[in-house]
Structure 1
Amino acid sequence: MSRPSGAIDAGPLAAADQFQFRNGDRVVLVGNTLIEREQLYGYWETLLTALNPDKNITFRNLGWSGDTVFGEARAGFGTPTDGFRHLKEDVLALKPMVLILGYGGNESFAGPAGLPRFLKGLDTLLDALAPTEARIVLLSPLRHERLAAPLPDPTEHNKNLELYRDALREVALKRGYWFVDLYGFPQEREAPGARAVHLTDNGIHLTAYGYWRSAFSLACGLGFTPATWKITFDSRGNRITAEATDVGRDPVAPMRLNVKDSTLPFSPSPKVVDTNGNDFTTRRILRIHGLEAGGYLLKIDGRAAAVATAQQWQRGVQIAPPTEASKQVEQLRKLIIEKNRLYFHRWRPENETYLFGFRKYEQGQNASEVPRFDPLVQKLDAEIAKLRTPVVHKYEIVSNGGAQK
């Protein structure tokens, strides 16, 4: 059930032999910095949420910077054994139905000699989480991105990362888990002639733009594939066809359409870059037959969206998503970020030592306030569920004289 990562050069993502999310799924992300920092940007969760508008899926992020399969970073003032116990208990308490695990990046610094220990620790962790009966996705570590000096040459480290990536793939194959190879995705910007756009801040940790880019590789790895949005219609109202969207015609105005997309568009890039035609843009083609010669303006929700001649409309014009739809998905992403922020304070309060640890005799009485985050998180879950669903947008074609595109 391994799926390769890869660039999506056009189109929204559509289901095709994909990892099957189910209505009511509780997805728990566990791993190192790659997982923890995703909650700061929300691009992964936003895309997976938008791709499943008909399903109630909740996400909880249990990532911990510097973590390994041994739970060492979670030990606090205790031992690695305590850290592993915390890791196991935190996951089991959430009763996940889907587990997305991101490990191997930190362990890879031990090189080939450390691989057997990593695999043993991984097996121990997977066995410990088996009682959840969750469907499990294993993520490969990222490739170490080459950045300018004084940051180190990543060549040798990448050789080790490949070893750990391959080992994770074998474990997934043996256990019947889904495997997503994220190792190759940072290479996408290194094609000859492409403008350098860094995906990490230090070669290892993704920036906002890196998470935006990697969201597509994650979706590809889960089996979602590009699907072109397309509407073709006759200006006289005789016929209409559509892909990746539902279209209704205004009965009294054949040049007006009520359009409801299958999914929301993806969030706009956090960085405007020269991509040499390589970016993950949503390909949306509107084709109109039977227009009289001249120029025509497309309005979406009353806003000017595109201008082209009758001949160009007949060939098909690439258009952008509705402005309001892009605003909706960004609002969705911001809600997801806020939900994750509140949940982070629920399960990792900053003064944990005073609330639950060896100094709880001083302020342990305040521990009762921590569960008060629960209704706040649940409220945002409900708002996310409403916002993930596309709404109808009004498309209208009007004469624009002899205007050219």
Structure 2
Amino acid sequence: MLRAPFFVALSALATIAPAQFALHDGDRVVFYGDSITDNAPYTTFVETFVLTRYPKMNVRFFNAGVGGDRVGGGWMGPVDLRLTRDLFSRKPTVVTVMLGMNDAGYQAFKPSLFNTYEAGYRHILDRLRAEAPSARVWLMQPSPFDDATRPPTFPEGYNSVLKRYSGFVSDLAKEKGYGTIDLNTPLFDALAKAESLDPTVAPKIVVDRVHPWTAGHLVMAATILKAWGASGQVSRTEIDAATGHVSGAGVQVKDVQHSGGVSWSSTEEALPFPIDRKDETVALILRSAPVEDWIGRELVLVKNLAPGNYRLSIDGKPVGEFPADVYSSGIDLSWMDTPMAQQAKRVQDLTGKRAALKYAAWRQIEFGLGDIQGRSKADVLRAIDRFEDDVVRKQHAEALPKPHRFEVTKI
């Protein structure tokens, strides 16, 4: 019989309140940064979340992260070339910037490096103000160097240096009237908590101390989405098994039958965010940070069931068995292998393919063949863009919620 962690106390609902989401229909979001952004899961996690939580919203995403980059640029070109080719060409309405991991030099705080960082960062923002004046900009404080699961490499610790850089980024954002998102503290705190829970698995979250793997990127994406005011609730369905009365949010319920158990048909307005809970680092990070409160609970509550155990089936397939009191407290479906979760995974797969398509065009054609110009090259890039449009349409079609039949039957 399944029990915790599939159920959530009703009191937890009070902490999940709707908010105005920062992204708007028609937005074009560019993630600008270094290797932690370069083709990184956090960017596709954010995209998948927007598709699954707001399926009718049309937002386009572009990854402009380059491994090794600093505020002055890197191996794909100096910063002014990078900004022109990789950011402004995308006509962004939303820009995130995360730089600093490489700029601080992986050493104790060095004033000359910090001065270069400050001057370079201000130059980036000057160009943003001049060439994308209407874009909404978020400066993201650098993600942590993992001094939490292993001893620091020098007395101060490199993450303490990054925290000084983060403080500058926060102050600069306020000075310029931009948003700021702290990606250091939430992930560092999660690493410390993970270390206390499982010191064997915890170091695998940021295996090289610099680049988070999936679990770390999950925290980063959730932090961004929380800062953007994303809804922490997929849906809430509450049914009284004695009367058939229905209440809830984010779901349309009809055809309620209540005799012994209860059954109903529902169409949710969103899908759950797909999380690979079989990954040991993901499972640990979910115990170490409130990721799910930030990105989604999919709750079903059934009140006034007679005492006993009940099977929950969706579209005729069993998905779990719980006592009556667990139904009354609330079951979080996002933990379960439901048709909605399977649909969300298909959306996530399409998101990865779309991102890979655009990434390949950027790296292999725009950059790799950057010194070769011609009409045929422009034609190829336009054709790829049209193909990407086809993939985006497929993403949106797959993200549209579908009706399902729920049954709660006594065992």
TM-score of the aligned structures, taking structure 2 as reference length:
0.81
Report the equivalent of 1:126. 125
1:182 equivalenced with 2:183 (yes/no): yes
Q: 1:207 to 1:248 in 2, by over 3 A?
A: same
Report the equivalent of 1:333. 348
Q: Distance in 1 between the 2:149 and 2:315 partners? A: 46
Q: Distance in 1 between the 2:319 and 2:14 partners? A: 19
Q: CA deviation at 1:297?
A: 1.4
Assess if the C-alpha contact under 8 Å between 1:29 and 1:61 holds in 2: yes
Moved more, 342-351 or 155-164: 342-351
Q: Within 5 Å, which residues of 2 pair with 1:103-182? A: 103-109=99-105, 111-130=110-129, 131-132=131-132, 133-146=134-147, 152=153, 155-182=156-183
1:87 equivalenced with 2:83 (yes/no): yes
Q: Distance in 2 between the 1:105 and 1:262 partners? A: 39
**Residue 266 of structure 1 is aligned with which of 250, 269, 273?**
273
Secondary structure at 1:136's aligned position in 2? strand
Q: Distance in 2 between the 1:311 and 1:157 partners? A: 49
Assess if the C-alpha contact under 8 Å between 1:13 and 1:225 holds in 2: no
Q: CA deviation at 1:286?
A: 3.1
Deviations 1:126-161 (A, max 9, x none): 121222221001111111013888994584321210
Assess if the C-alpha contact under 8 Å between 2:236 and 2:299 holds in 1: yes
1:343 equivalenced with 2:358 (yes/no): yes
Report the equivalent of 2:35. 33
Q: Within 5 Å, which residues of 2 pair with 1:6-405? A: 16-17=18-19, 20-38=22-40, 42-75=44-77, 80=78, 83-109=79-105, 111-130=110-129, 131-132=131-132, 133-146=134-147, 152=153, 155-184=156-185, 185-191=187-193, 193-196=196-199, 197=202, 198-224=204-230, 226-227=232-233, 229-243=235-249, 245-250=250-255, 255-269=262-276, 271-272=279-280, 275=284, 277-278=287-288, 280-281=291-292, 283-319=297-333, 320-321=335-336, 323-349=338-364, 355-357=369-371, 360=372, 369-400=380-411
Moved more, 293-302 or 40-49: 40-49
Deviations 1:343-366 (A, max 9, x none): 11222216955x332xx49x9976
Q: Distance in 2 between the 1:396 and 1:351 partners? A: 53
Q: CA deviation at 1:162?
A: 0.8
Identical amino acids, percent of aligned pairs: 21
Long gaps (5+) in structure 1: 1-8, 401-405
Paired residues, number: 381
Report the equivalent of 2:6. none
Q: Distance in 1 between the 2:155 and 2:340 partners? A: 40
RMSD after superposition: 3.3
Q: Distance in 2 between the 1:278 and 1:157 partners? A: 22
Deviations 1:99-123 (A, max 9, x none): 1111122112273332222122112
Q: Distance in 2 between the 1:277 and 1:147 partners? A: 16
Q: CA deviation at 1:317?
A: 4.4
Q: In the alignment, residue 237 of structure 2 is paired with which amino acid?
A: I
